[in-house]
């Protein structure tokens, strides 16, 4: 999946000469948490979060003119720069690592040096929900398999014989490097027949692991 498929293209922006109060108003009005700061060519030169604005705003315990004047400072005085950006043709799975490694909550999307969209951590979470299929009624089955070529289609064929629709497949490492874990989310609320088929084929189940072995 590409970034362009999940990014928001209607982006609220400010210029560096805008005030902190301008940012505060936009954050509250549009219920957003980040505002990219752009120049006249719509190039991203900074970004401001709701936390940046909150930290720069006057304390509620003081109401002096000096404190209020802080809101009239230019937004460039508190913006973060330079900004980590992504491209619309980047893979969503890869930018997830950027969110994690950089500990950021928002990534502007840039093409030909111009801002064209934005992706937030909320967008990422929603996308991962879609990719894993947890938004549909389904059953989860975790299978321990040998780590060898061809094992995935081999196990998937067992599901195919039952004509069970596979919603998603995830692959995790196992503590023994000679094995890995296949996590199938399947569109059935009665996984018992396929569980029995997997066990009869010799594949240990890690989940569900509380269902008795079929009697022989």
**Domain at 87, CATH number:** 3.10.580.10
pLDDT at 216: 46
**Distances in whole angstroms, Cα of residue 38 to Cα of each of 43, 46, 105, 177:** 5, 7, 18, 48
- On whether both 94 and 30 belong to a single domain, the answer is yes
Q: Is 212 contained in some domain?
A: no
* Residue of 58 and 95 predicted with greater confidence: 95
- On whether both 67 and 106 belong to a single domain, the answer is yes
- On whether both 8 and 115 belong to a single domain, the answer is yes
- Decide: 75 and 14 in contact? Cβ < 8 Å: yes
- On whether both 117 and 21 belong to a single domain, the answer is yes
| Residue finishing a domain among 114, 129, 144 | 129
| Residue finishing a domain among 76, 104, 129 | 129
Total structural domains within the chain: 2
Whether the pLDDT of residue 86 is over 80: the answer is yes
Q: Which residues pair with 44 in a beta bridge?
A: 38
DSSP state of 162: T
- On whether both 153 and 125 belong to a single domain, the answer is no
166: containing domain: 134-207
Read off the pTM.
Answer: 0.79
Whether the pLDDT of residue 192 is over 70: the answer is yes
In sequence order, what are the residues at sequence separation of 6 or more whose Cβ sits closer than 8 angstroms to the Cβ of residue 37?
13, 14, 15, 16, 18, 44, 45, 46, 47, 48, 75, 76, 79, 81
**Distances in whole angstroms, Cα of residue 106 to Cα of each of 10, 184, 192:** 14, 31, 42
Average pLDDT over residues 115-132: 93
């Amino acid at each position: 999946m590409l970034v362009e498929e999940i990014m928001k293209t209607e982006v609220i922006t400010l210029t560096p000469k805008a005030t902190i109060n301008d940012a505060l108003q936009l954050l509250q009005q549009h219920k957003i948490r980040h505002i990219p700061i752009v120049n006249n060519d719509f190039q991203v030169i900074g970004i401001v979060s709701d936390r940046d604005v909150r930290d720069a705003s006057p304390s509620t315990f003081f109401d002096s003119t000096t404190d209020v004047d802080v809101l009239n400072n230019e937004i460039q005085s508190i913006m973060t720069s330079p900004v980590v950006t992504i491209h619309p043709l980047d893979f969503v799975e890869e930018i997830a690592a950027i969110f994690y490694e950089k500990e950021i909550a928002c990534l502007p999307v840039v093409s030909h040096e111009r801002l064209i969209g934005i992706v937030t951590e909320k967008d990422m979470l929603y996308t991962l929900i879609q990719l894993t299929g947890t938004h549909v009624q389904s059953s989860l089955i975790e299978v321990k398999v040998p780590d060898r070529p061809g094992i995935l289609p081999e196990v998937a064929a067992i599901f195919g014989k039952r004509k069970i629709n596979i919603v998603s497949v995830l692959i995790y490492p196992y503590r023994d490097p000679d094995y890995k874990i296949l996590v199938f989310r399947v569109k059935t609320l009665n996984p018992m027949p396929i569980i029995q088929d997997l066990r009869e084929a010799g594949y240990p189940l890690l989940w569900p692991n509380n269902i008795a072995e079929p009697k022989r």
